[in-house]
Chain A
Amino acid sequence: MSKNKILSINNVHVEIEGKEIVKGVSLQINSGEKHAIMGKNGSGKSSLANALAGHPNYEITSGTVELDGENLLDKSATERSLAGLFLGFQYPLTIPGVTVANFLRAAIKARNGDGIDIKNFRKVFKEKMKLLKIEDSFATRYLNDGFSGGEKKRLEILQMAMLRPKLAILDETDSGLDIDALKIVANGIMESAPKDGGVILVTHYQRMLDYIKPDMVHIMIDGRIVKTGGAELALELEAGGYDKLETEVSQEVGV
């Protein structure tokens, strides 16, 4: 079976307010693959995620990104989403006055136009809520307003499940979750992640990778991917910590 390239990132540099945070990252994800990007806070992994999704504060200064063969970088955040990119937010925003259901309806409508099939929408919505153990009452609550950390993250996965992207970047979806919530979220990701698309799990810890086995693990330090390996790399990292790895890496590059 020949694999399609879902995402090709080639030597991408990202700046925030003139300061370079991501310093040349290349990455390729084939259909059906799950990759983990691991790194400490400030390593640039979230900046890479936000830049790929088109956040206006994260400027990609050089490099190329293709999603399913299409240039992503000349597209707005809206167009990137419609092209099949999904970012699960590390800190999902609260939008008062906008219910979860209306928010999702707007997102679906952006894809299907006014011909949105309300009956089908409701059916899928209910199914996915059940999968993520989200109570029905959430549909009419304001988006993330008064939600716990775990509820917000489950809602991010609900959105992914509804929008069916080609590539999902899940930015620290595991943070702030207790063990039960982590299982639910991980299960939700496994069930509803794009089967023939790709998934990038951006994470600090290895623990979510117990539930979602990545095909590849990339370690980011100071804006660069310094090491790439299989699922076992995450375990190594967990055992030795980032400090050990940093020492190794600096020795390798002779700093």
Chain B
Amino acid sequence: MNTVTMRKNSIDFRGQNRFEPEWLYNIRKESWNYYNDLELPHRSNHLWRYTNAQDLLPNNLEELIKIIPSLPDQSENDSSYGDEDFSGYGYNRSDFMTFARLSHDFEKSGVVFKDLLTASRENEDIVKKHLGQLVGYGFGKFEAMNLALWNTGLFLYVPDNIEIKKPIRLQRHPSGPNTIHRLLVVVGNNSKLTLIDDYSGECRKEEAQSNSAVEIFTGDASNVKYFNTQRLSNSCISYITQRAQISRDAKFVSVFAGIGSKISKFNTGTILNGEGAESKLYGIVFGNENQHFDYHTMHHHTASNSYSDIDFKVVLKDEAKSAATGLIRVEEDALNCQAYQVNRNLLLNEGPKAESIPELEILCDQVQCSHGATVGPIDQDMLFYLMSRGVDYKEAMNIITLGYLEPTIEKFPVELGELTRELLATKMKG
């Protein structure tokens, strides 16, 4: 039990972090204290009913503390480049190789894209103002661990009135034993951004943990699209907490795909914080073999006339398990909001288990809200329709299943969509 022994230890983060600013050191220390004071979540705790928290704990916390990077000396920042497909390219790896490159189109635009450690010194004001505000240590045990021990991070800042037409692509390779990564995104007013956050790779060590925290702030009337694909190998354990805060008249679209990992716990949420804010969340999960997916979605309306919609589809085969908890919360003074959510689960055989738990906390009486959940097998009449055209049973199952997910996959940028289709087709066959 590493956590117990660690708890008594006084950790000298300073020793390892000569180059971190004082305030960041303090945040780490506070978070670490908080982490140690918190009990490991129990099955009776909210959102922990389906996953054993013990399974998500790193097995070498001491090592993690030692390796908080002192300096991003393996990183390359700001070296601009030309790429036809992406406006920027970021890379995060468990051996703390981090780099961030931005297309030279944005050289003088004021856009900042660099590793988080460097940003904490060079862009101190913005980072200090936002870091940990959406996914802070108060969030929970694993979020506190992240804020205390993050060892690889990226920072993206888009000033007001900037349109980043092509996506910025982040590649996360938590391929070592443990990776604790953080992403902080701050988008200004009237700006546009498409961000791909792609988790992939083989985990070199058995049961490598990846703990990721993502914070996205959007300015007024901004337009942000965020794509999160988790396609880690099936020996990985993935924990992602992502929050976005949407300002006045801003539009946010978030699309996620949960494909990989042995255990995947994913918590995605959007706070509609300004009048007229809009958030659309589309998600898919495809589980096979013994994969375990524990997914939470949240739309929190704190401002009037805000709109949210969630469409979350799950496909399970073999012995895979999924739990989908979807919270809609509308505050008392958030008037005339619309909030919708649907979670559908398709079970391809008798083995998998799917749970669907909608949670509504509607404190305001002027609201339009709906939620729906279904769990079931493939429609027999659909199967017959395809078979009556000469398609065999297996191929008919393929076509219907991939078709079921297609309206969501279609929303991905072309290349990412293709990649996702290939991965799903492979899983269908396996």
A binding-site residues for B, Cβ under 8 Å: 53-57, 76-78, 80-82, 86-87, 89, 92-93, 95-98, 102-103, 106-107, 110-111, 142, 159, 163
Contact = CB atoms under 8 A, between A and B. Distances in A.
Interface stretch (B9-17, B44-52, B254-262, B393-401): B393-401
Contacts of A82: 390
Contact of A53 (B388, B391, B392, B396): B388
Contacts of B396: 78
B404 A78 contact: no
Interface of B: 379-382, 384-393, 395-396, 399-400, 402-407
Contacts of A89: 385, 388
Chain B CB count within 10 A is highest, among A76, A87, A97, A107, for: A97
Chain B CB count within 10 A is highest, among A95, A111, A142, A159, for: A95
A142 B389 CA distance: 17
B378 to A, nearest CB: 11
Contact of B405 (A97, A111, A163): A97
A98 B389 CA distance: 14
Given A93-B385, A159-B389, 20 more contacts: A54-B387, A54-B388, A55-B388, A56-B380, A56-B384, A57-B380, A77-B387, A78-B387, A78-B393, A80-B388, A81-B388, A89-B388, A96-B404, A97-B403, A97-B404, A97-B406, A97-B407, A98-B403, A110-B391, A163-B390
Contacts of B381: 93
7 contacts: A54-B387, A81-B387, A97-B405, A98-B399, A98-B403, A102-B399, A142-B403
B403 A110 contact: no
A3 B241 CA distance: 72
A120 to B, nearest CB: 18
Nearest to B398: A106
Contact of A163 (B384, B386, B389, B404): B389
B385 A78 contact: no
Given A93-B381, A95-B382, A107 B390 contact: yes
Contacts of B390: 78, 81-82, 107, 110-111, 163
A56 B379 CA distance: 12
A98 B387 contact: no
Nearest to B387: A77
B402 A97 contact: yes
A103 B393 CA distance: 14
B429 to A, nearest CB: 15
A110 B380 contact: no
Nearest to B410: A97
Nearest to A104: B389
Contacts of B387: 54, 76-78, 81
A92 B403 CA distance: 17
Given A78-B392, A97-B402, A98-B400, A106 B407 contact: no
Contacts of B404: 96-97
Chain B CB count within 10 A is highest, among A78, A82, A87, A89, for: A78
A110 B388 contact: no
A98 B396 CA distance: 11
A53 B385 CA distance: 10
A87 B388 contact: yes
A111 B388 CA distance: 12
Nearest to A81: B390
A56 B396 CA distance: 15
Nearest to B392: A78
A227 B381 CA distance: 32
Contacts of A76: 387, 393
A92 B393 CA distance: 18
Contacts of A159: 389
A60 B114 CA distance: 69
Given A78-B392, A93-B381, A98-B400, A106 B386 contact: yes
Contacts of A53: 384, 388
A63 B168 CA distance: 65
Contacts of A77: 384, 387-388
A221 B403 CA distance: 40
Contacts of B380: 56-57
Contacts of B406: 96-98
A142 to B, nearest CB: 8
B407 A107 contact: no
Nearest to A84: B390
B311 to A, nearest CB: 12
B267 to A, nearest CB: 27
Given A95-B403, A96-B403, A98-B399, A103 B389 contact: yes
A148 B391 CA distance: 25
Contacts of B405: 97
Query: Top 8 closest A-B pairs, CB basis?
Result: A97-B403, A97-B406, A98-B403, A81-B390, A110-B390, A107-B389, A77-B387, A93-B385
Contacts of A93: 379, 381-382, 385
A86 B403 CA distance: 23
Contacts of A95: 382, 385-386, 399-400, 403
A92 B392 contact: no
Contacts of A54: 384, 387-388
Contact of A92 (B379, B385, B402): B385
Contacts of B388: 53-55, 77, 80-81, 86-87, 89
A42 B142 CA distance: 62
